[in-house]
Amino acid sequence: MAVDLEKLEQLLTNKLREKFGDAIRDVSEYRGELSVDVDREVVLDVCRMLKDDPDFQFDHLSYVSCADWSAQGKTPRYTVYWDLYSVPRTHRVRVRAAVPEEDPTVSSVTSIWRSANFMEREAFDMFGVIFQGHPDLRRILMPDDWEGHPLRKDFPLGGVKSFYFKRATDPGAGEPPDLIPRIRRQESDI
Protein backbone atom coordinates (compact mmCIF):
# COMPACT_ATOMS: atom_id res chain seq x y z
CA MET A 1 0.00 0.00 0.00
CA ALA A 2 2.35 2.68 -1.18
CA VAL A 3 1.35 6.23 -0.41
CA ASP A 4 1.50 8.81 -3.19
CA LEU A 5 3.63 11.44 -1.49
CA GLU A 6 3.34 14.10 -4.18
CA LYS A 7 -0.42 13.85 -4.16
CA LEU A 8 -0.57 14.09 -0.40
CA GLU A 9 1.79 17.07 -0.45
CA GLN A 10 -0.44 18.80 -3.00
CA LEU A 11 -3.55 18.05 -0.96
CA LEU A 12 -1.97 19.28 2.26
CA THR A 13 -0.74 22.48 0.65
CA ASN A 14 -4.02 23.27 -1.07
CA LYS A 15 -6.44 22.38 1.70
CA LEU A 16 -4.47 23.86 4.56
CA ARG A 17 -3.49 27.04 2.67
CA GLU A 18 -7.09 27.53 1.63
CA LYS A 19 -8.29 27.49 5.22
CA PHE A 20 -5.38 28.94 7.16
CA GLY A 21 -3.62 31.10 4.58
CA ASP A 22 -0.19 32.33 5.58
CA ALA A 23 -0.34 30.59 8.94
CA ILE A 24 0.91 27.55 7.01
CA ARG A 25 4.56 28.46 6.58
CA ASP A 26 5.81 25.55 4.53
CA VAL A 27 5.06 22.03 3.38
CA SER A 28 8.27 20.12 2.78
CA GLU A 29 9.48 16.62 2.02
CA TYR A 30 12.63 14.97 3.38
CA ARG A 31 13.57 11.29 3.12
CA GLY A 32 10.04 10.37 2.11
CA GLU A 33 8.38 12.17 5.02
CA LEU A 34 6.17 15.23 4.84
CA SER A 35 6.46 18.08 7.30
CA VAL A 36 4.05 20.98 7.68
CA ASP A 37 5.39 24.07 9.42
CA VAL A 38 2.61 26.12 10.97
CA ASP A 39 2.21 29.12 13.26
CA ARG A 40 1.69 27.99 16.81
CA GLU A 41 -1.61 29.88 17.07
CA VAL A 42 -3.33 27.57 14.57
CA VAL A 43 -1.90 24.23 15.75
CA LEU A 44 -5.12 23.05 17.35
CA ASP A 45 -7.26 23.90 14.31
CA VAL A 46 -4.77 22.38 11.88
CA CYS A 47 -4.65 19.19 13.91
CA ARG A 48 -8.42 19.01 14.13
CA MET A 49 -8.71 19.43 10.38
CA LEU A 50 -6.03 16.78 9.76
CA LYS A 51 -7.97 14.37 11.92
CA ASP A 52 -11.46 15.07 10.60
CA ASP A 53 -10.91 15.71 6.89
CA PRO A 54 -11.78 12.55 4.92
CA ASP A 55 -8.71 13.04 2.71
CA PHE A 56 -6.33 12.94 5.67
CA GLN A 57 -7.92 10.98 8.55
CA PHE A 58 -4.92 11.23 10.84
CA ASP A 59 -6.52 9.30 13.66
CA HIS A 60 -3.34 8.20 15.43
CA LEU A 61 -0.97 10.58 17.16
CA SER A 62 2.37 8.80 17.17
CA TYR A 63 4.60 11.19 18.98
CA VAL A 64 4.72 14.69 20.43
CA SER A 65 7.96 16.21 21.47
CA CYS A 66 10.15 19.23 21.30
CA ALA A 67 13.61 20.32 20.21
CA ASP A 68 15.72 23.05 21.73
CA TRP A 69 17.72 25.02 19.16
CA SER A 70 19.70 27.15 21.61
CA ALA A 71 22.91 25.18 21.00
CA GLN A 72 22.77 26.32 17.38
CA GLY A 73 21.78 29.84 18.39
CA LYS A 74 18.58 29.76 16.37
CA THR A 75 15.47 31.74 17.26
CA PRO A 76 12.72 30.95 18.12
CA ARG A 77 14.28 28.61 20.62
CA TYR A 78 11.93 25.61 20.56
CA THR A 79 10.20 23.56 17.91
CA VAL A 80 7.31 21.38 19.00
CA TYR A 81 6.45 18.59 16.58
CA TRP A 82 3.56 16.18 16.25
CA ASP A 83 4.03 12.95 14.27
CA LEU A 84 0.67 11.83 12.90
CA TYR A 85 -0.37 8.60 11.25
CA SER A 86 -3.56 7.56 9.54
CA VAL A 87 -4.60 3.97 10.10
CA PRO A 88 -7.12 3.77 7.21
CA ARG A 89 -4.90 5.63 4.71
CA THR A 90 -1.49 4.47 5.99
CA HIS A 91 0.17 7.82 5.50
CA ARG A 92 2.20 9.98 7.82
CA VAL A 93 2.77 13.67 8.31
CA ARG A 94 4.65 15.79 10.79
CA VAL A 95 3.31 19.12 12.06
CA ARG A 96 5.89 21.53 13.41
CA ALA A 97 5.46 24.81 15.23
CA ALA A 98 8.13 27.22 16.42
CA VAL A 99 7.78 28.33 20.04
CA PRO A 100 9.71 31.36 21.34
CA GLU A 101 11.73 31.33 24.56
CA GLU A 102 9.94 34.34 26.11
CA ASP A 103 6.51 32.76 25.90
CA PRO A 104 6.93 28.98 25.64
CA THR A 105 3.27 28.09 25.19
CA VAL A 106 1.41 26.11 22.57
CA SER A 107 -2.07 24.62 22.52
CA SER A 108 -2.55 21.12 23.80
CA VAL A 109 -4.07 18.57 21.42
CA THR A 110 -5.42 16.34 24.19
CA SER A 111 -8.95 17.29 23.13
CA ILE A 112 -8.30 15.63 19.75
CA TRP A 113 -6.10 12.67 20.70
CA ARG A 114 -6.05 11.62 24.34
CA SER A 115 -2.72 9.91 23.73
CA ALA A 116 -1.21 13.40 23.82
CA ASN A 117 -1.76 13.49 27.58
CA PHE A 118 1.38 11.62 28.65
CA MET A 119 3.55 12.78 25.76
CA GLU A 120 2.77 16.46 26.37
CA ARG A 121 3.50 15.99 30.04
CA GLU A 122 6.86 14.51 29.09
CA ALA A 123 7.65 17.38 26.73
CA PHE A 124 6.71 19.86 29.46
CA ASP A 125 8.85 17.99 31.97
CA MET A 126 11.87 17.84 29.69
CA PHE A 127 11.69 21.24 27.96
CA GLY A 128 9.39 23.45 30.02
CA VAL A 129 7.07 24.12 27.10
CA ILE A 130 3.58 24.76 28.42
CA PHE A 131 0.70 23.06 26.65
CA GLN A 132 -2.34 25.25 27.17
CA GLY A 133 -5.56 23.40 27.74
CA HIS A 134 -3.88 20.23 29.02
CA PRO A 135 -6.03 18.75 31.80
CA ASP A 136 -3.19 17.78 34.12
CA LEU A 137 0.14 19.32 33.17
CA ARG A 138 2.53 17.93 35.80
CA ARG A 139 6.01 16.49 35.65
CA ILE A 140 5.92 12.85 34.64
CA LEU A 141 9.43 11.36 34.63
CA MET A 142 11.37 13.71 36.90
CA PRO A 143 10.54 14.11 40.62
CA ASP A 144 7.89 16.72 41.37
CA ASP A 145 10.34 19.03 43.14
CA TRP A 146 12.97 18.90 40.41
CA GLU A 147 14.34 22.24 39.28
CA GLY A 148 15.05 22.84 35.62
CA HIS A 149 14.19 20.97 32.45
CA PRO A 150 16.72 18.24 31.65
CA LEU A 151 16.58 18.08 27.86
CA ARG A 152 17.18 21.79 27.39
CA LYS A 153 20.60 22.29 25.87
CA ASP A 154 21.80 24.46 28.77
CA PHE A 155 21.14 21.68 31.28
CA PRO A 156 24.39 19.77 31.91
CA LEU A 157 24.45 16.00 31.41
CA GLY A 158 25.48 15.33 35.02
CA GLY A 159 22.79 17.54 36.53
CA VAL A 160 23.21 20.85 38.29
CA LYS A 161 23.38 19.62 41.87
CA SER A 162 23.56 16.39 43.73
CA PHE A 163 20.02 15.21 44.13
CA TYR A 164 20.65 12.30 46.43
CA PHE A 165 22.91 13.79 49.14
CA LYS A 166 20.52 15.93 51.07
CA ARG A 167 21.38 15.52 54.75
CA ALA A 168 24.31 17.49 56.14
CA THR A 169 25.96 14.26 57.29
CA ASP A 170 25.86 12.68 53.86
CA PRO A 171 29.16 12.52 52.03
CA GLY A 172 29.35 15.20 49.40
CA ALA A 173 26.65 17.36 50.94
CA GLY A 174 27.12 21.06 50.39
CA GLU A 175 29.67 20.73 47.63
CA PRO A 176 29.01 19.69 44.05
CA PRO A 177 30.25 16.18 43.28
CA ASP A 178 33.34 15.74 41.11
CA LEU A 179 31.27 14.26 38.36
CA ILE A 180 29.91 17.54 37.12
CA PRO A 181 33.02 19.39 35.91
CA ARG A 182 34.10 16.31 33.98
CA ILE A 183 30.84 16.09 32.11
CA ARG A 184 30.78 19.83 31.49
CA ARG A 185 34.14 19.45 29.77
CA GLN A 186 32.63 16.85 27.50
CA GLU A 187 29.80 19.18 26.69
CA SER A 188 32.17 21.93 25.57
CA ASP A 189 33.93 19.49 23.26
CA ILE A 190 30.98 19.30 20.94
Binding-site ranges for other proteins (CB under 8 A): 1, 30-33, 35, 59-63, 65, 67-68, 71-72, 81, 83, 87, 90, 92, 94, 113-119, 122, 126, 139-143, 150-151, 155, 157, 186-187, 190
Decide whether 19 or 156 has the Cβ nearer to other proteins.
156
C-alpha span between 189 and 136 (Å, rounded)? 39
Q: Cβ 118 to other proteins, closest distance in Å?
A: 4
Q: Cβ 189 to other proteins, closest distance in Å?
A: 9
Decide whether 40 or 91 has the Cβ nearer to other proteins.
91
Q: Cβ 100 to other proteins, closest distance in Å?
A: 18
Q: Cβ 169 to other proteins, closest distance in Å?
A: 25
Decide whether 14 or 25 has the Cβ nearer to other proteins.
25
Given strand 60-68, what is the order of strands in its sheet? 24-30, 33-38, 92-99, 78-85, 60-68
Amino acid at 167: R
Amino acid at 113: W
Decide whether 46 or 127 has the Cβ nearer to other proteins.
127
C-alpha span between 162 and 181 (Å, rounded)? 13
Kindly list the distances between the CA atom of residue 117 and the CA atoms of 3, 64, 114, 128, in Å, as whole numbers in the listed order: 29, 10, 6, 15
Q: Cβ 14 to other proteins, closest distance in Å?
A: 23
DSSP-assigned letters across all residues of 70-96? GGGT-SS-EEEEEEEE-TTT--EEEEE
Decide whether 42 or 93 has the Cβ nearer to other proteins.
93
- From the list 98, 96, 68, the residue with the least C-alpha distance to 83 is 96
